[in-house]
Structure formats: structure tokens, C-alpha cells
Structure 1
Amino acid sequence: MATELDYRPISTDDHIIEPPGVWDGRLESKFQDRAPHVIVEDDMDYWEFEGRRIPNIGLSVMAGRPYEEYTVAPVRFRDMRKGCYDPEERLLDMDRDGIEASALFPTIPGMAGTLFNQADDKDLGLRCLETYNDWLADTWCSTAPERFIGQMIVPLWDIDLAVKEFQRGISLGHKALSFPNAPESLGLPNIGDAHWDPLWDAVEEAGVPVSMHIASGSMRDTQLPLEVAGGTPAEVFVTVAPSSNFVSVATLLWSGVLDRHPKLRFLSVEGGIGWLGYLVQRADEVYVKHRHWTHAVIKEKPSFYFKRQVFANFLDDEVGLAIRHYIGIENIMFEVDYPHSDTTFPNSTALVSKRFKDVPPDETRMIVRDNAIKFFGLNLD
């Protein structure tokens, strides 16, 4: 029998499809003409930035469409659901889906700002990145401050600038930092490297979490054709996409960053949770058997740090729910992934009721609502 909910779930992963005009009129004259802008060519919309043309890939805007219509082909703004790019329409879709609040990731800037971090002109990249954070705050988040969870991006190429922009993002009201799950793919130190300690100091002081979305490293590495290797079926890419956070979580556990920063909290986004049980078990086994010859830098078993500081979300993960106590019910959260092709919209609440039918009501509420309220510091009951 399905579980009936008397509250609305919170989605810890959704996406804005930025509309034309995000950067219009917001930059100094020396940058304005080179800011991201939309052009129309051959009856298709493209974002253009530093000579690159970036379409809105179909799989990113499939919310509300039948599976038979799914496509990787580019889609024009006029053919998208308005909730993809309009905050008022998004709120209506959230109401249709029974969702209380939504954590927002960017699209054109890259889910962790990688487009601007790879800019040839770093001064231009910085101003475009800052402008995105401003736009997110004064368009989407200001529309519904307790329903839209703003997640800032920062200039990763300069640690001092990253700290400065993070602190500015906090002043704008953003509730989390979106950080690439694989900064090494951008030619930067990995997520556990001491290089990032000044940023983590600032994050700890602010008390906000860090989100690591799958495939949020290099745009050149992650915006792949679906044939990931010669002759490989497209389904392979779609199947293994969540695995891009496996190494990221393991790096958090082993690098010592969680020892150095005991108040940091990281969220593995859209990677699912079923694999976490084995990963943590294996990591503890490695600690017992191998830490002496590897000269492990951590002071406790990896499971200790995971329980304290690592969190993960999921869309529809029966295996993960079955082992939820092994993972830790305090460490897992729900997501909708609107408007991407894996989204649970418009059946999210119905899915929760069905999948959680054997989960006690208090645990269900923790996983689909209360954990997110605590994690993001939301002013919701």
C-alpha cells in the first residue's frame, strides 16, 4: 500500500535552463558584447561565448514529455516547457508535482561554472560568473526565497578570487556552493588537495554545504557525444553516468580534507545511493588492510567521515532504500532533476508514495524533506 504524504518533499537537484538575456545590460561596455548571448542559426537557438556555440541539448529539457519523444537533438526555447527557464512557471510545475523547494544548478555556465573557468579571457570569465550569481539571486531566488535554493559558482582558477566570490555569494543569500566533482579534469588540484583549504575555511565559517554534481568537471570532457567510445552503445553512457562521483566520494574520504575541515559537508548529486554501501564497506576494509603501506593520512576509518560529512541524493533507487540504514538515513536525500530526462516530474510525489511504502513514515519524511531542510538551513517546518 502506498504511503500518503501530509507534507511536500524537497528536491535537492534541479536545473535552470537559462533564458536569453541573462547577461544583457549587466556588464561593463568592454565585456558586454563578448558575454554569452543567444543567436539563431538554421532555425535553432545557440548560446555563443568566445567562439563556442552551445545548444540546449534535448535530454536537458525533457520534463513532461513521454519517453518516446526523448531526444539528444538540440531544442529551441519556444519548444521547451516554460518551467525550464521561467521561475514563475517553475513554481507552478513544482506545485503540480507536490514539491516544496528546489536546489538549483546552472546549465550554460556548467553545473559548477566550468564554462567561465575555461574562458580564454579570465577577466571576462570572472565578470560573467559574478553576473550569473547576481542574476540567480535577483531573478529566481528573490521570486521565492524559501522555495528556490540558490547555489553559487566561483572562479576556480584563482583561490583568492574564489574565496572572495564565495563570500559575496553568501551576502547575496545563496545557500550552497556548486563545486566540480572532478576539478582535476579542469587542470586543477583534486577536491581533497590542500590547495582548496582557504576556500574550505570560508565555507566552514559560513556553515553552508558543497554540492558535487555528476559530470560537473570539464565541459570538454562531459559534453560528450553519446558514443563514448568507438562502437559503444549510447545506453552505456546513460547507464554509467552516475559513476562519475564514485572517485569523488572516495577522494573525500581518503584525502584528509574531512580531517582538516570537520565542519565541511559535501553532497554527491545525481549519483544515486545504492553503490555507497559497498564503497564505504570497501574503504573501511582498505583502511584495515592497506593503510600501513599506503601511509594513509586519515585518523579514523572512512565510514566515520562519511557518516559525519558526506551526503548523497537519489531519484529512484530501490537498492539504496533497501540498505538505507547501512548508508545512514541522515545522509540521504531526494531529488527530482527537473527538467532533465531522468526527472521524476510530474509524478514525484506519487513515486515517493510508492517507493517508500515499506519505509516507516518518520524515516520517509527525513529522507525526502527534513534532511534537506537541515542540510541547506531552510526556514521550513
Structure 2
Amino acid sequence: MNKIWTNSGDSHFLEPEDLWQTRLPKKLADLTPRSEKDPDGEYETVYVDGQVFRRKLPTSAVMEKFVEASNRPQGSRDARVRLADLDQEGVWGEVIFPSLGMWCSSFRTPELLKACMRASNEWALDEIASVSDRYVVTAQVSTLVVEDAVEELRWAAERGFQAVFLPTTPHPSADDWNRDSWDPLWAAAEDAGMVVAFHIGTDPVDMSVGGASGGLGIVHHGPGGAVMNYAETTFSGQRVAMKLVASGALDRHPDLKVLISEGGATWVPFLGDRMVEGYRQHAMAVRPKLSRDPKEILFSQVYASFQHDVTAVAAYEHMGYRNVMFGSDYPHMEGTFGHTQDTLKTLFDGASDEARRRITQGAFFELFPNVPPVPSDIDR
């Protein structure tokens, strides 16, 4: 069968582990994330910006599978080889999130975070963005000081970045995303035409004694823990979308576009209905007042990517939500690498051509018009 060519609203690149250590002054490099595994491999100690915590590692069998899945595609570390992987899978353009940058919400020193973000952005320009205009590399900015974030976003926009990655929750020492203090960042992104891209599972690490949660995904223990923890990671994406709508941030910046990656899409119609009900039923307590219906704001400005969810297509076809976008999550084990075409053909079996085109290409090109179109003569 011919390929179903798609774009991807979610993928990752594995930077060199010593990227920050080699590019930062020693006093800052010594504060960047590192881990030390116990000799028996059961626990590891993680050091992040002067903070220390211990966590239990997955069983050896699970860890071996994870390492194998993460390292299998050579394109996860080589942007040139990566193109062959994409062509094989039938993926044209893709949003690329960092790996080291997933730690950014756990930093607490503004100078360190600012330096790490610039180092990552310079490296990404040289090693990924320069290779192909099919890559939408996400810029990284401070989540501690809004002025630093605005400065770095403008620097990135001037150099061709089309999106900026933000964690679903900033560090506890910073204001949350629904606070007006972040308004200069939303205004700068809107003015620059940069998409604000949140990736699920990027809440700050809990440094409390006894383990870690947040971005590391360890929230539930006991029977069902693995499934519950996996499902738990999606909720942070829903929360950040809710914060930006209910706080009026998106209402004040109607041209700002937001991407929630890897969290599915069917939650968007439900959340829209729930916020409308809350806005209506508790109108006397609602602050601020919005100029548009909360569901309208959510549907028009928030895009959501998914990989396997069969209900995501239904969200487009039957729930009126148009901003549904496929994401391969390359090269993570939750992703579709190695079976992308099988996944797409299953997802769109019986779906309309309109739904398939919108979900695989239309929504992506709407956000990132600078990515060249899929060639008409490519194998289909």
C-alpha cells in the first residue's frame, strides 16, 4: 500500500550528555544535571542545581527495553541520518523537543538556566536546524525570570526558530502560567509568530525525601502504578491549557498559538465544555471576564498532538475540534517508530479524507508555514 505521509507534532533529539558541561563556565557546569547509579543498579542519586534526590530505577528488564528502544534509531542523535528514518516512516516535517531541556523546570538559579538555554539553542541551530528545513526545532527559554525568557525568545526568533518549548509547570519559585507576570512572554511570542509548545510530563521534579515525582512520572505506587503513572503525565498538558484560557492570557493575545504535545486530543472538547459550564454557573465569582467563550478560545488557539489514540480522529470528525495533530514521538518507546504506517492506516481506516489531511498535514502547516510542503512526486 502507498504511504500515508504525515507531519509530526512531537519528536525528540538526544543531545550530547555533556553539552552543558562543555559549553558553560565551570562554576555553572558543576550545577547541571547528572546522576550516579548505585553499584547494584537499583537506585540512582540525581544532582540538579545544588539539589539532590534519590530514585528507584525500573527493573532491569524494563530498563533494558527502554535503553534499546531509545537508542535504536541512529537519527535520534544524528540529524542527517534522521532524515532517512523519517522517510522510511512516512514523516515529513516534525516538531523537535530537547531531551536535556526536559530538566529546565527543576532549575532554581536564573543565571544557570539562562546560560543552559542559550547553549542549547546555539547547539540546536548548528546541529539540527541547519540540516533541514523539515525540522521545527523548539527554542528553549528561562522559566524563572520573564525578562530572560523574553530576551531569549526574541534572540531565537531572529535566528529562525518557529516554536518555543516550555514545561507544563514552571519551577515552584516562579509564578505559574496563569499569572499576569508572564504576559510579556505571551506578547513577545505573539509578535514574533512563534508557537508556544508545551510537552507533557515536564512538571518540576519533587526533591522531597523518598523519591521524585513531577517530570519523572512517579506519582502512584502499588497495583496499577505503571499504567496510572503513564496516564498521569497527560494531565499537566490539560492543566496548562486550562490556565492559559481561564486566566485570559489567550483572550488577550488572540494570535498566539499553543501546542500541547503527546497528551492526546479528545480531552480538548471535554475541557472546553467543562470551562463553559464553570464560567456560566459560577459567573459571579469568575475573574477575569473573557471577551470570548472559553471553548471558542481553546478550540481556536490550542493544538494537540497524539500518537495512538483512536479517539483523536473522532474529536475532529464528531466533536468539532479541528486542531488535532498526529505526532510520532520519535524515538521514544511510547512512539510509533517502526510501525508509523501501520498506526496511521489503523487510525484512519474508515475516516474521511478531510480528517486524514487535516490531522496529518493541515494543522501542522497552519502552525509552521515555513516548512516546505510534501513533494507531489514523493512515494505515496
Shared fold, TM over 0.5: yes
Could you report, residue by residue, the CA deviation over 1:236-278 in whole angstroms, capped at 9, with x for unpaired residues?
1113321222222222221111121111111111110122222
The amino acid of 2:187's aligned partner reads D
Aligned counterpart, 1:129: 117
1:109: how far off?
2.5
Quote the residue 1:63 is aligned against.
none
Q: Quick check: 2:279–2:286 contact (8 Å CA) kept in 1? A: no
Within the candidate set 220, 225, 233, 1:233 is matched to 225
- Other-structure match for 1:178: 165
1:81 Cα deviation (Å)? Answer: 3.9
Number of the residue aligned with 2:6: 9
| Aligned positions of 1:21-36 closer than 5 A | 21-23=18-20, 25-28=22-25, 31=28
Change (3 A) 1:275 1:72: farther
Q: CA RMSD in A?
A: 3.4
* Contact map agreement 1:98 1:349 (CA 8 A) in 2: yes
Partner of 2:336, secondary structure, is coil
Query: CA, structure 1 residues 95+71, in 2 after alignment: closer, same or farther (shift >3 Å)?
Result: same
Q: Would the alpha carbon gap of residues 12 and 58 (structure 1) be closer, same or farther in structure 2, given more than 3 Å must change?
A: farther
Aligned 8 A contact 1:208 1:376 in 2: no
Counterpart residue number, 1:65: none
Q: Does 1:219 align with 2:205?
A: yes
Q: Distance in 2 between matches of 1:326 and 1:211?
A: 26
Distance of 1:124 and 1:199 partners within structure 2? 20
SS at match of 1:133: helix
Instruction: Give the counterpart letter for 2:290 in structure 1.
Output: I
Shift of 1:47: 8.8
Does 1:206 find its partner at 2:197?
no
AA of the residue aligned to 2:192 = A
Query: Compared with structure 1, are the counterparts of its residues 288 and 52 closer, same or farther at alpha carbon in structure 2 (3 Å cutoff)?
Result: closer
SS in 2 for 1:100: strand
Aligned to 1:191: 177
Q: Give, in angstroms, the shift of residue 326 of structure 1.
A: 4.9
**Superposition map of 1:37-116 within 5 A:** 50=49, 70-71=62-63, 75=67, 81-110=73-102, 113-115=104-106
1:152 match: 139
1:269 aligns to 2:261 (yes or no): yes
Q: How far apart are residue 31 of structure 1 and its match?
A: 4.7
Could you say what secondary structure the match of 1:211 adopts? Answer: strand
Aligned equivalents of 2:231 and 2:214: distance in 1? 14
For residues 302-357 of structure 1, the C-alpha deviation after alignment (integer angstroms, 9 at most, x for no partner) is 11111221111111221222232454453110001112221011111221122112
Structure 2 gaps of 5+ residues are 207-212, 374-380
TM norm structure 2: 0.83
| Letter of the structure 1 residue corresponding to residue 339 of structure 2 | N
Q: Decide whether the 8 Å contact of 1:329 with 1:367 is kept in 2.
A: no
Aligned residues: 363
Unaligned runs of 5+ in 1: 60-67
Residue pair 2:268, 2:321 contacting (<8 A) in 1 also: no
In the alignment, the residues of structure 2 paired with residue 276 and residue 225 of structure 1 have an alpha-carbon distance, to the nearest angstrom, of 22
Paired with 2:86 and 2:94, the residues of 1 have a C-alpha distance of 8
The 1:58/1:140 distance shift into structure 2, 3 A limit, reads farther
CA deviation map 1:187-208 (0-9, x unaligned): 3222222101111111111011
Post-superposition shift, 1:140?
1.1
Corresponding residue SS for 2:289: coil
Of 148, 151, 165, the residue aligned with 1:164 is 151
CA positional deviation for 1:368 = 0.8
Cα contact 1:99–1:349 (8 A) shared by 2: no
2:114 partner letter? L
Shift of residue 285, structure 1, vs aligned partner: 2.1
Q: 1:186 to 1:314 in 2, by over 3 A?
A: same
Question: How far is 1:99 from its partner?
Answer: 0.8
Three-state SS of the structure 2 residue aligned to 1:366 is helix
Compare 72-81 and 23-32 and name the one that shifted more.
72-81
Question: Residues 196-227 of structure 1: CA distance to partner in whole angstroms, max 9, x if unpaired?
Answer: 11111111110111011112221334244746
TM, length-normalised to structure 1:
0.83
Residue 331 in 1 paired to residue 331 in 2? Answer: no
User: Whole-Å Cα distance in 1 between the matches of residues 370 and 244 of structure 2?
Assistant: 25
CA contact (8 A) 2:7 2:93 kept: yes
**Cα distance change of structure 1 residues 99 and 282 upon mapping to structure 2, 3 Å threshold:** same
